[in-house]
């Protein structure tokens, strides 16, 4: 079954309608069509739809607050402050537990924004940067600050975003820069800034790493997560970095990195793979990178060039991307409006499918692409629409992958508790079927299966109608639409966008 979804890539041969273009744009620049306006996608042009997406994401987002102060259960993760020394082992354990619980709340709040916010472009762009600036930090307050930085700057200037992320307490702590001091430099932060955030591996030397690390000495943070430059820990001697020599500090290093056209190319290629196609086109990437560099790293202008270009809507780019677990979950909920008695059930789905917000597998983030699918995750994806609508329990366990689970993979109590959350309350998920049914109000009964499939799927390849018909409820129009939606969402083709 896992190989079947890969074969779909080579069988796509579709007529590109206005609806298909609009759905393509909504899946790539957002999290898919929302039920309330899905019926309008036949009439609006994809350029008008892009203008709406851009306009809806133009205002600054409200901060997602779970904790308002570093002392609201967030001390754990701050290893070098005086107050921690006075805490007992039990107190530290309790603070860590509270921070983990708060981090789950932040996860749910952000996922809700992806599902419900009109600012689809900003939230999708934020999800990209969340993977690009991958950071695992148990300190909820620091993670909350980093998410705010990403969401505020997601469509702004990449240089501003890079600088703000690099000065965030969450990233400085995760990459050990509080240990980077004069006479005892720590190279971890400097290396990742070049390898993962800007130029990519192979475009700098080990000497460049050493010199950049010296420049970043003294970059730290205070108890409230504010950037703090510790002047006495900073190396003030001359450094030579990427062929430039001077008494550089961390800001100078970032400036020099932004001056490199390789930085624009590296970022553009990652954006192309995330939003366009995992199979890259070097000619287009080079053209986009040059425009990105010339615009002084204007993110919105780059995305507009991509989403308004004719080539973005070519067949080879439509229905060829495997939805990440978060995109899959958010997209399903946007089209099939759900009310969950306990939103924490979504955390179990994230764990089982392999993408937990705020818990990337490593500093490189999630690899994406075909890595999202294997035999077990595909089978679960195919079951989820029916599990949710039938209020079933997910009787599966997360993989024993401690790198992803961050030490929680063997927490049987946690797994069992989350495992019951779809069914333990006698009706844990309620679908607003009336909103879904209205989408197809003007569609003739004989055309419903085709129309619903065209609305849900981005691929020409479909499960044969005579096979689907065996599982459809023919009692009445409403039951028929519900059963078609659930069964089409339960096909391998629905995993692609």
What does the pLDDT look like over 72-85, one tens digit per residue? 544 444 444 444 55
Task: In whole angstroms, give the CA distance from residue 351 to residue 345.
Answer: 10
DSSP summary character for residue 179: G
> Is the pLDDT confidence value at 477 over 80?
yes
The pLDDT, as a whole number, for residue 402 is 43
Predicted confidence (pLDDT) per residue in 398-407, tens digit: 555 544 444 3
Task: In whole angstroms, give the CA distance from residue 190 to residue 5.
Answer: 40
| Over residues 174-190, mean pLDDT | 95
| Over residues 164-185, mean pLDDT | 96
Task: In whole angstroms, give the CA distance from residue 380 to residue 374.
Answer: 10
> Would residue 111 be called left, alpha or beta, if left means φ above 0 and alpha means ψ between -120 and 50 degrees?
alpha
Question: What separation in angstroms does the CA of 350 have from each of 123, 285, 294, 378?
Answer: 17, 32, 39, 13
The pLDDT, as a whole number, for residue 468 is 87
Task: In whole angstroms, give the CA distance from residue 171 to residue 193.
Answer: 10
Q: For residues 323 and 495, is the Cβ–Cβ distance under 8 A?
A: yes
Radius of gyration of the chain (CA): 24
The pLDDT, as a whole number, for residue 97 is 80
| Block residue for tokens 């390849």 | 461
Task: In whole angstroms, give the CA distance from residue 342 to residue 440.
Answer: 30
Alpha helices in 219-320 (DSSP H): 250-259, 261-275, 282-294, 299-307
The pLDDT, as a whole number, for residue 397 is 56
Q: How confident is the model at residue 343 (pLDDT cuts 50, 70, 90)?
A: confident
The pLDDT, as a whole number, for residue 98 is 82
Q: Which comes out higher in pLDDT, residue 106 or 462?
A: 106
Question: What separation in angstroms does the CA of 403 have from each of 67, 354, 366?
Answer: 26, 11, 12
The pLDDT, as a whole number, for residue 396 is 55
Question: Could you tell me whether strands 338-340 and 429-431 are parallel, antiparallel, or unpaired per DSSP bridges?
Answer: antiparallel
Model pTM?
0.91
Q: How confident is the model at residue 208 (pLDDT cuts 50, 70, 90)?
A: very high
| pLDDT > 90 fraction of the chain, expressed in percent and rounded | 73
Q: Closest Cα to residue 138, out of 398, 419, 324, 407?
A: 407
Residue 366, classified by CB atoms within 10 Å of its CB into exposed (0-12), middle (13-18) or buried (19+), is buried
**Entry field: residues in the chain:** 497
The pLDDT, as a whole number, for residue 56 is 97
> Is the pLDDT confidence value at 490 over 50?
yes
Predicted confidence (pLDDT) per residue in 214-230, tens digit: 999 999 999 888 999 99
Q: Report the SS3 class of residue 312.
A: helix
Q: How confident is the model at residue 236 (pLDDT cuts 50, 70, 90)?
A: very high
| Over residues 150-172, mean pLDDT | 98
> Is the pLDDT confidence value at 136 over 60?
yes
Q: How confident is the model at residue 410 (pLDDT cuts 50, 70, 90)?
A: very low
Minimum mean pLDDT range among 88-97, 236-245, 365-374, 462-471: 88-97
Q: Which comes out higher in pLDDT, residue 410 or 298?
A: 298
Q: For residues 12 and 460, is the Cβ–Cβ distance under 8 A?
A: yes
| pLDDT > 70 fraction of the chain, expressed in percent and rounded | 85
Torsion sign across C-alpha atoms 136, 137, 138, 143: negative
The pLDDT, as a whole number, for residue 398 is 58
Predicted confidence (pLDDT) per residue in 258-296, tens digit: 999 999 999 999 999 999 999 999 999 999 999 999 999
Q: Which comes out higher in pLDDT, residue 158 or 343?
A: 158
The pLDDT, as a whole number, for residue 51 is 97
The pLDDT, as a whole number, for residue 366 is 97
Phi, psi of 56 (to 5 degrees): -70, -20
Predicted confidence (pLDDT) per residue in 61-120, tens digit: 999 998 865 555 444 444 444 445 556 777 667 777 888 889 999 999 999 999 999 999
* Per-chain mean pLDDT for the chain: 88
Task: In whole angstroms, give the CA distance from residue 176 to residue 213.
Answer: 11
| Over residues 120-128, mean pLDDT | 98
The pLDDT, as a whole number, for residue 70 is 53
Predicted confidence (pLDDT) per residue in 414-458, tens digit: 445 545 544 443 347 889 999 999 999 999 999 999 999 999 999
Work out the number of other CB atoms within 10 angstroms of the CB of residue 60: 11
The pLDDT, as a whole number, for residue 96 is 78
The DSSP string of 132-162 is: HT----S-HHHHHHHHHHHHHHTTSBHHHHH
CA atoms within 13 A on the CB side of 142: 30
> Is the pLDDT confidence value at 412 over 80?
no
The DSSP string of 419-449 is: HTTTTTTS--EEE-HHHHHHHTTTS-GGGHH
The pLDDT, as a whole number, for residue 10 is 42
The pLDDT, as a whole number, for residue 111 is 98
The pLDDT, as a whole number, for residue 125 is 98
Q: Which residues of 267-283 are buried (b: 16+ CB within 10 A; e: fewer)?
A: bbbbbbbbbbbeeeeee
CA 177, chain centre distance (Å): 25
Q: For residues 355 and 324, is the Cβ–Cβ distance under 8 A?
A: yes
Question: What separation in angstroms does the CA of 263 have from each of 156, 195, 397?
Answer: 16, 10, 41
In sequence order, what are the residues at sequence separation of 6 or more whose Cβ sits closer than 8 angstroms to the Cβ of residue 288?
268, 272, 302, 305, 306
> Would residue 309 be called left, alpha or beta, if left means φ above 0 and alpha means ψ between -120 and 50 degrees?
beta
Predicted confidence (pLDDT) per residue in 479-489, tens digit: 999 999 999 99
Q: Which residues of 117-140 are buried (b: 16+ CB within 10 A; e: fewer)?
A: bebbbbbbbbbbbbbbbbbebbbb
């Amino acid at each position: 079954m896992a190989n079947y979804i890969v074969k779909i890539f080579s069988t796509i041969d579709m007529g590109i309608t206005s609806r298909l273009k609009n759905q393509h744009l909504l899946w790539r620049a957002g999290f898919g069509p929302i039920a309330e306006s899905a019926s309008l996608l036949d009439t609006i042009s994809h350029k008008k739809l892009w203008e709406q997406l851009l306009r809806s994401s133009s205002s600054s987002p409200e901060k997602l607050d779970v904790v308002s102060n570093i002392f609201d259960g967030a001390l754990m993760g701050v290893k070098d402050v005086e107050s921690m020394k006075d805490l007992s082992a039990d107190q530290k354990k309790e603070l860590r537990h509270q921070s983990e619980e708060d981090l789950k709340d932040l996860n749910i709040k952000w996922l809700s924004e992806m599902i419900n916010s009109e600012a689809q472009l900003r939230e999708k762009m934020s999800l990209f940067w969340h993977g690009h600036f991958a950071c695992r930090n148990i300190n909820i307050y620091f993670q909350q600050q980093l998410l705010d930085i990403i969401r505020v700057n997601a469509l702004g200037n990449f240089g501003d975003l890079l600088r703000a992320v690099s000065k965030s307490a969450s990233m400085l702590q995760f990459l050990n820069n509080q240990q980077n001091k004069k006479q005892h430099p720590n190279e971890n932060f400097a290396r990742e800034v070049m390898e993962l955030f800007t130029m990519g591996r192979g475009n700098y030397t080990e000497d460049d790493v050493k010199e950049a690390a010296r420049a970043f000495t003294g970059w730290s943070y205070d108890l409230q997560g504010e950037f703090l430059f510790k002047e006495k820990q900073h190396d003030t001697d001359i450094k030579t970095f990427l062929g430039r020599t001077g008494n550089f500090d961390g800001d100078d290093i970032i400036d020099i990195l932004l001056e490199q056209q390789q930085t624009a190319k590296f970022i553009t290629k990652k954006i192309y793979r995330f939003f366009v196609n995992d199979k890259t086109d070097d000619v287009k990437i080079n053209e986009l990178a040059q425009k990105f560099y010339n615009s002084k790293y204007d993110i919105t202008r780059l995305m507009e060039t991509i989403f308004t270009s004719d080539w973005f809507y070519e067949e080879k780019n439509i229905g060829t991307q495997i939805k990440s677990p978060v995109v899959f979950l958010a997209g399903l909920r946007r089209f099939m409006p759900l009310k969950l008695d306990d939103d924490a059930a979504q955390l179990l789905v994230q764990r089982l499918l392999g993408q937990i917000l705020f818990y990337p597998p490593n500093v490189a983030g999630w690899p994406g692409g075909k890595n999202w699918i294997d035999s077990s995750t595909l089978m679960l994806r195919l079951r989820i629409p029916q599990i949710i609508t039938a209020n079933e329990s997910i009787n599966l366990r997360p993989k024993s992958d401690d790198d992803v689970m961050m030490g929680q993979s063997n927490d049987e109590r946690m797994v069992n508790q989350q495992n019951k959350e779809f069914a333990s309350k006698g009706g844990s998920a309620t679908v607003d079927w009336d909103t879904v049914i209205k989408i197809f109000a003007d569609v003739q009964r004989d055309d419903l299966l085709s129309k619903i499939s065209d609305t849900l799927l981005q691929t020409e390849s479909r499960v044969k109608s005579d096979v689907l018909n065996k599982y459809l409820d023919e009692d009445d129009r409403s039951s028929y639409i519900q059963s078609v939606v659930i069964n089409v969402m339960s096909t391998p083709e629905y995993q692609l966008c």
